[in-house]
Structure 1
């Protein structure tokens, strides 16, 4: 039997081993340090991450499972990121959370880890850390909240916030009624109940093979979440015994399955930047073009907000992810393994669709081709993406004049100006919102529409940005434009009135200008003034080292695996 990693701390009779054991004993049995695996539970529970606040309860079920299987469970609180609370944007801290978790996993006497996440950036950060330290690891997603209702209508958190707030701006809903819906929007523990980034990353983590099949999407208030959590605690002990590390089962085929799942569920565009970052930690050559190539022809089978009508508790009731994957089984890599040691496809045989309104059969898709589209051209030579399932079909091929905003502050100051020269055919452009430019690549790409157009009945326009879009949002939004404006991208050179051509079927995004004219231009002072210029701390480190969205917006020195070896031992 392979010696446990934790034995490097606990084995022997010298002073150092004595110290390590004595300070950790605190009621543990004598055999706790005699080869029993020590399992960290990387726990993102926090009252300031409201979607993860219930994870302490989940952690107790994991603990019970670990102990029942002969392991020693250890709660390890790690950096938690509340999407709705953290300023300036939670994405700024994803890499920091991943780095801090990686270092704590490496520094401590543990043999494996269970990763508890929920809110948008927590599961990606945990998976990035696990991939880099490469200890046996399993994810437990915290699950979506139950659906609240307002005036008898189910509310999709996030999506209905955007919808209702636009109706207030359009004058079709009173502010009082809007605010009255607030107490109904978030009705229980758990993350957003739409197919936003939190739901997407939980399901994508299962498609990758890092979650017990069937768990992702289980509602936070469902007792089966605790049952699965107990089972995960037992399974991680088995993973340690078999040394089933992320590097032993996560392959290019695993990421293929994740991309197929992403398209079939109509998942968030944020999954693109997160999957690229996770692959970069594993040394797997995943590119933007893989999302287009693999996702092409994958049908949208899930009728959930923001692309459809239902919500996550409906999805779970209707059969969940496994029933979706069973419909597209021929598109999956049959060899890609899961934490169970078996291929993902082996877990699909018993899956069934129980409500065809929520999950449709392959023969009757909501959209025949639902993959993320990757656009290129002189405006985005490094690539940009769009989610056709959330866009207006009539805008997927469009030519319009640019209305340019140099920063988020500029947008807020002018978007509702009645004198703004804009019409329904205009293309709204927002720059300075990329990883370096903001910093942190905030979810602002789904720009609010000008109030005067909303009052005319306009509900969608082409929007172009180097930032991200909330997974709960919708619209004809081109985002993740690379290179970003702050990294020398052509987005910094666009002027009001320039013609922009969007051709999603042709995968093109172009500024209709001669290259000589582009070469002559330079960013205006307002654009330059809008770029982030941090002087200290994490923001300075981030801006100096962050890579582009096309490779996952990770830090340049964090790509690849560092392994689990501690470089020095001062004891």
Structure 2
């Protein structure tokens, strides 16, 4: 073991727990021996924490229990001591009012758990949408050697002989039921066929987007995002991850050396090529805030000219299994290698080297730059008098003809009002109407729920309309699609200009020029602002109160204001 200490040239952090003499060392070692650990595992070897978001309430992450065992094998093999610990699990499909409300709570739990325990490095086991950014946010604030293993996508869905997709087909089937072209019996029958295994959504939704971007940013081994949850290769990757984290500790390869400005820029570029989720924006902004990288909303325009190369739903036609078989993220990086910044990965080599080894095995699933699914399809940042601090739209998932649009607004002041009125046959809307939803931002919902992709009014659905321009301060699922303007900032609940929009106002959007304007005079807007009354909300308690008192706006990542920045790995105070 002495050779390892010499190689690292500094004392392992875990030795403050397990290597000291006297009462403190006795207590730390003795209590751990309750689990049957022998004397020699406290000989100064690296102690690796395995931060697990497994939960039976979160089927996306249900496979992480088995992956943890594979990681442990790799850690033992490399001469480390693996110690698994649980944290919260945020299942998007199951949690109410929205998993996003608790992203920052999980980040706090991860941060404090890592800092409070005697570990030298940490393996993050993540899956469903918010678990990935929450774990990275927490780990970034501590800054130990860190690596991630993702849960992996579920198997492709199948219903009556055709492939169906998580999330994306739910929205489509729901609209077909409302249009009268699909029976409720068939709708219910599709449930089992859509969910054939544990794992995250089998589309390029938020979970697979974040897993892919973690890989692009160098925090996970190649193919982390693509291997299906039940694929043997994912378990092998987990084993290799266990090997690698021990080496990272010995090299003192901390997260701050990997999450640099260059790695965030690579994530923005890759997200465009992937057709990735708009949710990646608020998550990357929050992670950057924790690690100390000065990332701004307008930086996401860096990807606006990048073509869509990954032909996966909701922006294309294939699913994650096909993406895996086509070569995964390394194959995408190979296509955009000329755009990539030089950045370090957990392997100790640069992302440019990873890109050089990428191979594409299906050029319909992963396209070349000269044969894109859509040109210039990266997420666009919009600004104007409705959104002075910005809003976003995902052109790759929108009807192209709606990317430049002007129409009269129809305003819903809340989700409840929208749900009550959207199927009213007398709702005074046309296909050109701009649907506006208020009160769904970080504080207003609270949690900034995925309700921005409002349903098309039932009467218009029956007439064949499948997309309309929709604007809100909410988010939408990464599996969703449509001409949907999201994350309008500042939000309506704090008096943002979106709160001043009235039914009948005209709104103009040009996604290509990045503009979003309410065609109402400044004098009229000032009068409305003076008359505006902040909506009354029920006084919250517990974390919800903490959240509403301290959450920041979407354009800064919706983190809690007192959590921005890093605190390091030092324990503030200790006593026995």
| Structure-1-length-normalised TM-score | 0.98
Please name the residue that 1:394 is paired with.
401
CA distance in 1, matches of 2:498, 2:538: 19
Cα gap change, 1:523 to 1:209, in 2 (>3 Å): farther
- Counterpart of 1:295 (choices 303, 307, 310) is 303
Please name the residue that 1:326 is paired with.
334
Whether 1:550 and 2:535 are equivalent positions in the alignment is no
**Could you tell me how far 1:419 is from its partner in structure 2?**
1.8
Please name the residue that 1:103 is paired with.
112
**Could you tell me how far 1:536 is from its partner in structure 2?**
1.1
- Counterpart of 2:321 (choices 309, 313, 324) is 313
CA distance in 2, matches of 1:350, 1:286: 29
Q: Contact 2:391/2:487 (CA < 8 Å) preserved in 1?
A: yes
Whether 1:137 and 2:142 are equivalent positions in the alignment is no
Please name the residue that 1:33 is paired with.
42
Segments of 4+ in structure 1 off by > 6 A? Answer: none
CA distance in 1, matches of 2:277, 2:439: 22
Matches within 5 A, 1:274-293: 274-292=283-301
CA offset digits 1:40-67 (Å, max 9, x no partner): 1000000001100110000000000001
Cα gap change, 1:528 to 1:456, in 2 (>3 Å): farther
Identify unmatched segments of 5+ residues in structure 2.
Answer: 1-8
Q: Could you say what secondary structure the match of 1:447 adopts?
A: coil
Q: Contact 1:493/1:523 (CA < 8 Å) preserved in 2?
A: no
Identify unmatched segments of 5+ residues in structure 1.
Answer: none
CA distance in 1, matches of 2:219, 2:212: 10
CA distance in 1, matches of 2:448, 2:539: 15
**Could you tell me how far 1:528 is from its partner in structure 2?**
4.3
Please name the residue that 1:441 is paired with.
448
Please name the residue that 1:561 is paired with.
566
- Counterpart of 1:50 (choices 36, 56, 59) is 59
Matches within 5 A, 1:415-494: 415-494=422-501
Q: Contact 1:429/1:465 (CA < 8 Å) preserved in 2?
A: yes
- Counterpart of 1:384 (choices 388, 391, 412) is 391
- Counterpart of 1:372 (choices 358, 374, 379) is 379
CA distance in 2, matches of 1:449, 1:148: 25
CA distance in 2, matches of 1:12, 1:42: 25
CA distance in 2, matches of 1:13, 1:350: 49
**Could you tell me how far 1:242 is from its partner in structure 2?**
1.1
CA offset digits 1:223-281 (Å, max 9, x no partner): 00010100000100011111111112221100011111100010000000000000000
Q: Contact 1:204/1:261 (CA < 8 Å) preserved in 2?
A: yes
CA offset digits 1:54-105 (Å, max 9, x no partner): 1000000000000111111011111110100000000000000000110010
Q: Could you say what secondary structure the match of 1:481 adopts?
A: coil
Please name the residue that 2:31 is paired with.
23
CA distance in 2, matches of 1:52, 1:288: 30
Bigger drift between 343-352 and 302-311 goes to 343-352
Q: Contact 1:367/1:389 (CA < 8 Å) preserved in 2?
A: yes
CA distance in 2, matches of 1:68, 1:450: 58
Q: Could you say what secondary structure the match of 1:560 adopts?
A: coil
Matches within 5 A, 1:126-525: 126-292=135-301, 294-333=302-341, 335-522=342-529
Q: Contact 1:436/1:532 (CA < 8 Å) preserved in 2?
A: no
| Structure-2-length-normalised TM-score | 0.97
- Counterpart of 1:570 (choices 557, 564, 575) is 575
Q: Contact 2:494/2:534 (CA < 8 Å) preserved in 1?
A: no
CA distance in 1, matches of 2:364, 2:370: 13
Q: Could you say what secondary structure the match of 2:417 adopts?
A: helix
Please name the residue that 1:61 is paired with.
70
Cα RMSD after superposing both structures: 1.1
Cα gap change, 1:524 to 1:313, in 2 (>3 Å): farther
**Could you tell me how far 1:179 is from its partner in structure 2?**
0.7
Aligned residues, how many? Answer: 567
Q: Contact 2:473/2:486 (CA < 8 Å) preserved in 1?
A: yes
Q: Contact 1:213/1:344 (CA < 8 Å) preserved in 2?
A: no
**Could you tell me how far 1:389 is from its partner in structure 2?**
0.4
CA distance in 2, matches of 1:538, 1:398: 40
Whether 1:540 and 2:574 are equivalent positions in the alignment is no
- Counterpart of 2:92 (choices 78, 83, 95) is 83
CA offset digits 1:367-386 (Å, max 9, x no partner): 12121100000000000000
**Could you tell me how far 1:114 is from its partner in structure 2?**
0.1
